[in-house]
Chains A and B, each alone.
Chain A
């Protein structure tokens, strides 16, 4: 095992992690704030790239293509939101329906199963090639960090507004929210749109980074997103209490996920089994709060409790 090889590959893993960190922030909005596990993202994680790459190839400005990708993601979120609120379909199923529908839509956008884009011909924002031997402002890690900071600043502002606060309340206690005059259905749809817009933006950047868009690139995206959210929570929960820092911890979670993945590959792990590994690791982390409650929390001390009880009586 050549350690230099690992160090050589790490900057790429960090850049990749940062781009997926944007995606994970999108997942955080639904999973943590709205309390909905939204599987639409497996579809949107391709839609953004498809829209962006096809637009760049047809001569549109790269920033316009990012905006269009964001809008396309919001539309996907709107579909899931309407499945859920207007048609009363459980959130998970609504997401699965959108995800499947998006597969066809993505195929139609790309026109075939994948489409490459040549970084030498087009002025892309991020790329595998922009990791070494480029001025720092062109470096994909730098660009990724800028995107993450911008998104965190915007979200921090948004979730502090009246509308943003009502969205947080909706995820936290829908009954109370309605009693306080909050249109919870509207907020769920809005949250899904915002989340999928961000995921789609991440997809657009990721397609540029890897130099192609592929109709299967979103498969299992939700698992990576959840992994990032959970890693961020486990590692930084104690130190990052502020909302902006929480979002940052999610992005860092994605970076750590990709760095660890790189190390696992470097060790010589069969890459065919990587998704199995990811899935199992996320399953264990998701189980952790349950196990902790069931097996690790100290049982009530009955002697002390009885004493207290008799004092109260």
Chain B
């Protein structure tokens, strides 16, 4: 489903701030794999997401989604294959437009947008049912401006938007990090529901090791722009935070001294 071959990306090349964010990273995802991605700050997790999304082009290497080489495909065209939820709840929705309008925009992802009506009555009805599955009461606020919703509600709506047109790959970039623990748990539950319903191939970045272990069927750990650990199957099921930390030390041959990674246990 996804094939990343040896990608490199360096920011601010030739300046004092030069930073090699992706360093020959390769990764292959099979259909239906739900991969959680962990790693310290600056490991290249978000850079990987942006490389896939096409926010900019990689310096070297190639990205193939479902047999199509998208390495040089602009972001808006690549969106056809991707569902995305961002860390910042305000990033994924248009705040001055209604919930229904946001969903209608998302349902046309990858299709040409012409002079047909932007949202039909039948669509509104189906969105109502869809919103009801979130159990947030949003089905009664169909035309409310998204800017009026809370962070958790927005992330839930963004999740719906990302999955409305079944994406080849769902990209979740720490989408629960900005939420309070209770809301984060609820959004994560919704995430799992949506992923298992459509058997979506997913990449989910998280700072929370417990979440990384408890969710998905494969786990990768990144460090210095490459994947240093790749665990799947039975091994993933039996994983604990302690063994994960130990494994990381073995693989990276350096102590896992990243405070933020430890603090977010």
Which residues in A have some Cβ–Cβ distance to B below 8 Å?
158, 160-166, 168-169, 172-173, 175-184
Contacts and interface: CB of A to CB of B under 8 A. Distances in A.
Chain A contact surface mostly:
helix
29 contacts: A158-B115, A160-B119, A161-B114, A161-B117, A162-B117, A162-B118, A163-B113, A164-B118, A165-B101, A165-B113, A166-B113, A169-B97, A169-B105, A172-B95, A173-B91, A173-B93, A175-B86, A176-B92, A176-B94, A177-B94, A179-B92, A180-B79, A180-B105, A180-B106, A180-B161, A181-B108, A182-B76, A182-B113, A183-B76
Interface in B84-122: 84, 86, 90-97, 101, 104-106, 108-111, 113-119
Interface residues of B, number: 33
Contact of A178 (B75, B96, B113, B115): B75
Nearest to B83: A179
B86, B93, B105, B106 — most chain A CB neighbours (10 Å)? B105
A23 B105 CA distance: 29
Contacts, number: 84
Contacts of A158: 115
A168 B117 contact: no
A181 B86 CA distance: 15
A242 B190 CA distance: 33
B246 interface: no
Determine which residue in B76, B79, B117 has the highest number of CB atoms from chain A within 10 A of its CB, and name it: B76
Contacts of A178: 75-76, 79
B80 interface: yes
Given A161-B114, A162-B117, A163-B114, A181 B76 contact: yes
Contact of B94 (A162, A163, A173, A181): A173
Nearest to B164: A180
Contacts of A184: 76
Given A181-B76, A182-B76, A183-B76, A162 B108 contact: yes
B72 interface: no
Contact of A162 (B90, B95, B116, B161): B116
Contact of A180 (B95, B109, B117, B119): B109
B53 interface: yes
Contacts of A168: 94, 96-97
B205 to A, nearest CB: 16
Nearest to A161: B115
A181 B110 CA distance: 6
Nearest to B113: A162
Interface in B56-96: 75-77, 79-80, 82, 84, 86, 90-96
A160 B104 CA distance: 11
A172 B95 CA distance: 7
B116 A181 contact: no
B91 A175 contact: yes
Interface string B147-172: 00000000000000100000000000
A165 B97 CA distance: 9
A179 B84 CA distance: 7
A178 to B, nearest CB: 5
Given A160-B118, A161-B114, A173-B95, 13 more contacts: A161-B116, A162-B113, A162-B115, A168-B94, A175-B91, A176-B94, A177-B76, A178-B79, A179-B79, A179-B84, A181-B76, A181-B77, A181-B80
A166 B115 contact: no
A172 B97 CA distance: 8
A270 to B, nearest CB: 41
Contacts of A165: 97, 101, 104-105, 113, 118-119
Contacts of B82: 179
A66 B75 CA distance: 39
Contacts of B111: 181
B102 to A, nearest CB: 8
A184 B77 CA distance: 11
Interface string B25-54: 000000000000000000000000000010
A166 B105 contact: yes
A161 B82 CA distance: 24
Nearest to A186: B76
B145 to A, nearest CB: 10
B79 A162 contact: no
Most central of B53, B115, B161 by chain A CB within 10 Å:
B115
Pairs A-B, 10 closest by C-beta atoms: A181-B79, A165-B118, A162-B113, A172-B94, A181-B109, A169-B94, A178-B75, A161-B115, A178-B76, A179-B84
Nearest to B112: A162
Q: Which of A169, A173, A181, A182 has the most CB of B within 10 A?
A: A181
A183 B114 CA distance: 13
A178 B86 CA distance: 13
A176 B79 CA distance: 10
A184 B115 CA distance: 17
Nearest to B94: A172
A61 to B, nearest CB: 27
A179 B104 CA distance: 14
A60 to B, nearest CB: 29
